[in-house]
Amino acid sequence: MSGRLFVVGLGPGNPDQVTPQASAAVAGARFFYGYKPYLDRLDLRPDQLRIASDNREELSRAEAALTKAAEGETVAVVSGGDPGVFAMAAAVCEAIEAGPKAWRDIDIEIVPGVTAMLAVAARIGAPLGHDFCAISLSDNLKPWDVVERRLIAAAEAGFVIALYNPISKARPWQLGKAFERLRAVLPAETLVIFGRAAGRTDERIEIFALGEANAEKADMATCVIIGSRETRAIERGDRSPLVYTPRSLASQ
Amino acid sequence: MSGRLFVVGLGPGNPDQVTPQASAAVAGARFFYGYKPYLDRLDLRPDQLRIASDNREELSRAEAALTKAAEGETVAVVSGGDPGVFAMAAAVCEAIEAGPKAWRDIDIEIVPGVTAMLAVAARIGAPLGHDFCAISLSDNLKPWDVVERRLIAAAEAGFVIALYNPISKARPWQLGKAFERLRAVLPAETLVIFGRAAGRTDERIEIFALGEANAEKADMATCVIIGSRETRAIERGDRSPLVYTPRSLASQ
């Protein structure tokens, strides 16, 4: 008897940015697995159960959810943002590949969501309006030299760069080092956006020049967007500036 | 008297993937500017007016919408997917920067949405589960040699690559050329996903090996995702395979 597993993206945190598809998945599931701050966003009924786990326990959380679904239950694994971007969808796939054959019979439905970089971009203008990339700055799961190589390749090729997982208590120096490396490739005036809690009441979106960007202003809930040479700001008097990357690029 | 301009992402096409924030923006606006197929998705009241324009008229559409908002009206510019990803938000910013000073006083609200690559990824597994980039394959707005340089830089650095605007009647050869270039960098067995109309009734998601990927199978509504060397498929008998990119990467 195989059940059903939803992997649900709850969006950046504003309830108005949760899709009806995600809300329906939440209404239909009985067991909920996730990092506690994401589970805390759910308004559940008494017959629905939360099983919280720590931020760095993605694989064991996926295994627990699959085990429960394999018993025939309807289960949801929840992520902030989009579950396919540095979140639970890949962890669930990893667990299925390494797990018992029966897990391949579970109905898996992945429900996409608005990922952090899109929410931050929308609050400031259109910094992702041209080619861009998303890099997780965590070196828990890949060597730091690969992170640096990708940052430099992306900046040299003209991509705007969105950084996920920029900093944490266990990883205090990586963002500063990333800025240092990028300063060797990009002009000091390149625009950098620190976006935190986009669309929520505690939102904080700040713009810096790369030459002055201070990693200590970010925390683990910040999405950092580093512009390309083309990214620019439109001043608007008392209103906050619009930061955008033009759609077009002349010959270089 | 300055009005209000919403730049709204309607998501990939499934009404269940339109956020409540986007629905509220649509309910609140009176004039709607957009490419006709996106305007056709809206269920408007008799007092709400559609002004359709062609796919390649983004800048003049943005100018028309800003002109109307500057008259004090509440206006919405609609995009499929997310308006900040190869869509109308950057065009609106460009128009504001080049336009009359009064346009800087218009209330601009950009409403993010689920962009195509996230919707396609969700339907197949988690191909964007590790570092990735998004590249528009259109050479209308940038030189083709820049596109090629970015493709190669991204593939060599290990990014998964999502291609937007892969092909059209006016741009028939670019996707085939992109595959040809990538075959020189990536193994022939690298997984390529063609995702069309993800989450809609006419959805078509297909997986190919890069060595056999045929550009003619794509059209302008297709999002093409090219895996990295790490991207893999989990076979599931009668069910469609899950394609994902593991979160972790060993030293290289």
- Cα-trace Rg, chain A: 20
- Cα A228 to Cα A125: distance, rounded to the nearest angstrom: 15
Per DSSP, B30 falls in state: S
pLDDT value at residue A228 = 98
Q: Report the residue of A4, A101, A142, A248 to disrupt the B interface, i.e. the one with the largest count of B CBs within 10 Å.
A: A142
Neighbouring CB atoms inside 10 A of B57's CB total 14
Going by pLDDT thresholds of 50, 70 and 90, the confidence category of residue A251 is low
Torsion, Cα B127 A7 A37 A240, to 10 degrees, reads 50
For residue B131, tell me if it sits in a domain: yes
Give, in order, the Cα–Cα distances in Å from A53 to each of A110, A173, B72, B193.
20, 26, 50, 33
Q: Which residues of A fall within a CB distance of 8 Å from B135?
A: 131
- AA identity, residue A199: G
pLDDT value at residue A118 = 98
> Domain boundary residue among A114, A129, A164?
A114
pLDDT value at residue B122 = 98
Query: B147 and B218, same structural domain?
Result: yes
Query: A223 and A123, same structural domain?
Result: yes
Digit-coded pLDDT (tens) for B138-156: 988 999 999 999 999 999 9
pLDDT value at residue A249 = 87
> Domain boundary residue among B54, B89, B114?
B114
Decide if B174 contacts B167 (C-beta within 8 A). yes
* The pLDDT of residue A252 is above 80: no
- Cα B81 to Cα B34: distance, rounded to the nearest angstrom: 13
pLDDT value at residue B123 = 97
Going by pLDDT thresholds of 50, 70 and 90, the confidence category of residue A2 is confident
What is the predicted ipTM? 0.97
Distance of CA B230 to the CA centre of its chain: 24
Query: A121 and A72, same structural domain?
Result: no
Decide if B127 contacts B121 (C-beta within 8 A). yes
Instruction: Write out the residue range of the structural domain in which residue A42 sits.
Output: 4-114
Query: B145 and B26, same structural domain?
Result: no
Q: Which residues contact A91 (CB under 8 A, 6 or more apart)?
A: A58, A59, A61, A62, B247
Query: A132 and A34, same structural domain?
Result: no
Query: A135 and A100, same structural domain?
Result: no
- Cα B233 to Cα B240: distance, rounded to the nearest angstrom: 10
Digit-coded pLDDT (tens) for B184-224: 999 999 999 999 988 888 999 999 999 999 999 999 899 99
CATH classification at residue A51: 3.40.1010.10
- Cα A226 to Cα A101: distance, rounded to the nearest angstrom: 43
- Cα A118 to Cα A225: distance, rounded to the nearest angstrom: 10
Nearest to A153 among B156, B236, B244 (CB): B156
> Edge to edge, what strands does the sheet with B132-136 contain?
A204-209, A191-196, A222-226, A160-164, A132-136, B132-136, B160-164, B222-226, B191-196, B204-209
Write the Ramachandran bin of A130: left for phi over 0, alpha for psi from -120 to 50, otherwise beta: beta
Q: State chain A's mean pLDDT as an integer.
A: 96
Chain B residue nearest residue A96, CA to CA: B234
Report CB contact under 8 Å: B252, A85: no
For residue B62, tell me if it sits in a domain: yes
Chain B residue nearest residue A161, CA to CA: B133
Q: Which residues of A fall within a CB distance of 8 Å from B122?
A: 82-84, 89, 110-112
Token pair, residue B4, equals 């209000």
Percent of chain A whose predicted confidence (pLDDT) is above 70: 99
Output the pTM of the full model: 0.97
pLDDT per residue, tens digit, chain B (252 aa), is 679 999 999 999 999 999 999 999 999 999 999 999 999 999 999 999 999 998 779 999 999 999 999 999 999 999 999 999 999 999 999 999 999 999 999 999 999 999 999 999 999 999 999 999 999 999 889 999 999 999 999 999 999 999 999 999 999 999 999 999 999 999 999 999 999 988 888 999 999 999 999 999 999 899 999 999 999 999 999 999 999 999 998 755
> Domain boundary residue among A114, A136, A166?
A114
- Cα A74 to Cα B147: distance, rounded to the nearest angstrom: 44
Token pair, residue A120, equals 């931050």
